[in-house]
Amino acid sequence: MPGATCKGCGRPITWAVSPAGAQLPLEQVYSYRFEALGVSDPGRPPRVDRGPAVWISHFVTCKNREQFSGKNRERS
């Protein structure tokens, strides 16, 4: 579901379904490309370009991920 937020940390997430049918919280992040020092102009700082967006598991970045682990999660 686009527009959802993590109940643990409040960051935006998007829900997806794995091939096995499990629900996965995903977070969009960006990659960055760095130009090597001194390649085009010695003395100029390296250039940084934002690369394409990629989706990763929100469990990688969530500071409160332990509250969602199977052994710690409350069952109703």
Q: What is the DSSP letter of 49?
A: E
pLDDT at 43 over 50: yes
The per-residue pLDDT for range 15-28, each reduced to its tens digit, is 999 999 999 999 99
- pLDDT band of 76, cuts 50, 70, 90: very low
Distance CA 50, CA 61 (A): 19
